[in-house]
Amino acid sequence: MDFQQKSPEEIIRSLKNKFNFNNSKKTTLPLIIGILVVISILKGAFYTIQPSEVGVILRFGKVVKTTSPGLHFKLPFGIEKAIPVPVEKVYTSEFGFRTRTSGVKSVYSQKSYDDESLMLTGDLNVLDLEWIVQFKIQDPFMALFNVRNVDKTIRDISESVLRRIVGNHAFNEVLTTKRIDINNQAQKEMQDILDSYEIGIQIVKLKLQDVNPPEQVKPAFNEVNQAKQEREKLKNQAWEVYNQKIPQAKGEALKRVKEAEGYALEKINIAQGDTKRFLLLYAEYAQAKEITLRRLYLEKMQDTLTHAGKKYILDPKEKGILPLLKLENEQ
Amino acid sequence: MNNKNLSFIIPIIIIILILIGNPFYIVEEGKQAIITQFGQPIGNPITLSGLHLKIPFIQKITYFEKRILEWDGYPSEIPTKDKRYIWIDTTARWKIVDALKFFKSVANERGAHAILDGIIDAAVRDAVTAQDSFEVVRSSNRLRKLIEKEKIGQEDEFINEGVLATIKMGREKIREEIVKKAKSDLGPRYGIELIDVRIKRVNYIEKVRQNVYERMIAERKRAAEQYRSEGRGIRAEVEGKTEKELKEILSLAYKESQEIKGNADAQAAKIYADAYSKDSEFFSFLKTLETYSATVDKNTTIILTTEGEYFKYLTDISP
């Protein structure tokens, strides 16, 4: 550890003193070699651990300690080895698809991963599932030294677990209502299995992405959706007509009733008016029947004859006049 | 001088030793090693990590993994009890627990894979062929219970007879059976511990899958047709309802209006009758006169004789 306190120059100077080197031209070459050796030693003696990492230090292949972020010293010449382990980083494994370049507009691989994504549902139908698993290293020692191929193990277990769970659900459940349940159940089951391997990995999230019927079945699926739309359309159209006609008819019905009521009022009022008039007249008539009759008759005759077009007055004693009359029957 | 010589000699000796035949060897964490002497393993496997000593030149070190290793089999087509071919892909985890036995029996991982291939494939085959295909897919009777409770299935065109069958084993039990069988077949002789076997993928073989797709398509088409006819049904129903209500509304209105009118007519008739019955003669006189003036207009030609009441004074003056 003394190395750390001395600057390279001091070390070189002390070496020079030890081996009695002087500044003669003969010693220039060994000096340069010496400096290079020291630099290479120093290079192998320091390492940096990034803020999101933990350093696992092996001495002769045996884990001796872990170090926190920062610049550290280790024994050179391969005696100590530092393995930086990103413990904060969240890794994402994709199933059924691959992101080629992620970003605002991610590009996905066009290749099909049918073998990975096609699975059987409990009702023996085939479903095309895409999902992701996010995980991080919880225990660097376990992750490094308990399981050889951590990524592959996570992938295998994820596929196995998700298929088992989907196999226990109905096609429509996976497609619609049970997605969240499946996410949670699969995540928990995966974690349990991985824990049994002491793999030192924490599953952060398991999430179903696209859940689709297989490509070949899709058009038929869309047809169903279309048919559903169509059903709604027909229903709506019919109700539209209903909503158009019924209120109008109700209005018309009301109009009809009101008209009838009007008719009734009119009829009764007329009757009352007519009879009132009659009764008033009758009261007078009863007092002087003969004279009133005659007066009424004459008045009416006058009125009637005034309005008549042509009037002929014949004396029945004078015969022969009738044929002379040219009676025009008009229209 | 002596000191100087020593400080030169010791490193040189070390360097020479390292160059000629290293007596040290490192067992890294996660690894184990066995020492062989002329090809023959010597002593117990070294499982502790760290720096160890050996005899240079004579002893050689062979390293093995101490970590859990993966095994990934080739997917195989297996016929089930209900004569369906399914395509099964399994994965397994194993580790070397006895490096010495391992070295003697299979030598390396490739050898181990060959052994595991045979054993696991046979175990999977044995377990799966004895079962119906749906046993490998479902792990429990959850769906069946849901159907019995009528929680699903009513509007689900996809529920078919496969779901209705009760599961006796289920996927998880079959898997456990595979593990049990494979473990007992493997035994301790290879120094391998089989940790577990998992069914990674199960699917129909390509040909059967096409049939399933066709079935799914047919089912969807049937569902679509059902929705369409439902739509037509609803439309007809609403149209009928519209027609019925229209007729009801209008006829009720007619009925009501006729009633109102009839009542009014009756009432008016009563009013007239009550009044006119006081003197029906006088009423007919008045009414008749009224009709005269109503029926005679300027197009009417009237011929009267002097014999009538009206003109009687025209020829005869006497009252």
Interface confidence, given as ipTM, is: 0.70
Nearest Cβ partner for A278 among B134, B226, B283: B283
Q: Is the CA virtual torsion A28, A34, A35, A36 positive or negative?
A: positive
Instruction: Give B282's contacts in chain A (Cβ within 8 Å).
Output: 282, 285, 293
A224·B224 Cβ contact <8 A = yes
Choose the final residue of a domain: A46, A62, A85.
Answer: A85
Q: What is the pLDDT of residues B275-303, one digit of tens each?
A: 888 888 888 888 888 888 888 888 887 77
B193 to chain A, closest Cα gap in Å: 13
| Residue B76 CB contacts under 8 Å (≥ 6 apart), including other chains | B87, B88, B89, B121, B124, B125
A303 to chain B, closest Cα gap in Å: 7
The reply to whether B75 and B172 lie within a common domain is yes
B303·A267 Cβ contact <8 A = no
- Please tell me the least confidently modeled range out of A134-138, A194-198, A270-274, B52-56: B52-56
Q: What is the pLDDT of residues B139-166, one digit of tens each?
A: 888 787 777 776 655 555 555 555 567 7
A104 vs A213, residue with greater confidence? A213
Best B52, B82, B303 member to test A by mutation, with max A CBs in 10 Å, is B303
- Please tell me the least confidently modeled range out of A265-269, A321-325, B235-239, B283-287: A321-325
The reply to whether A114 and A78 lie within a common domain is no
The reply to whether B124 and B86 lie within a common domain is yes
What mean pLDDT do residues B226-254 have?
A: 91
What length is written for chain B?
319
* Residue B187 lies in domain: 69-204
- Please tell me the least confidently modeled range out of B95-104, B121-130, B296-305: B296-305
Q: Give CA–CA dist B40/A233, Å, rounded.
A: 84
Residue B259 in any domain: the answer is: no
The reply to whether B8 and B79 lie within a common domain is no
Q: What is the pLDDT of residues A221-237, one digit of tens each?
A: 888 888 888 888 998 99
pLDDT at B269 over 70: yes
What is the number of helices (H) and of strands (E) in chain B?
Answer: 10, 10
pLDDT at A11 over 90: no
Segments in chain A forming alpha helices (H): 2-5, 8-18, 28-45, 114-117, 140-145, 150-166, 171-172, 179-196, 218-287, 289-307
pLDDT at A17 over 80: no
Choose the final residue of a domain: B174, B204, B234.
Answer: B204
Percent of chain A topping pLDDT 70: 85
Choose the final residue of a domain: B204, B219, B238.
Answer: B204
The reply to whether B158 and B60 lie within a common domain is no
* Dmax (CA) of chain B: 199
Best B7, B25, B28 member to test A by mutation, with max A CBs in 10 Å, is B28
| Residue B48 CB contacts under 8 Å (≥ 6 apart), including other chains | A62, B27
Residue B170 in any domain: the answer is: yes
Segments in B140-205 forming alpha helices (H): 142-148, 161-164, 171-186
* Residue A281 lies in domain: 240-311
Q: For position B168, which CATH number holds?
A: 3.30.479.30
> pTM of this prediction?
0.68
Q: Give CA–CA dist A249/A251, Å, rounded.
A: 5
Instruction: Give B274's contacts in chain A (Cβ within 8 Å).
Output: 275
A167·B139 Cβ contact <8 A = yes
Under 8 Å CB pairs connecting chains A and B tally to 358
Predicted confidence at residue B54, as pLDDT, reads 83
Q: What is the mean pLDDT of chain A?
A: 82
Predicted confidence at residue A25, as pLDDT, reads 55
Domain count of the fold of chain A: 3
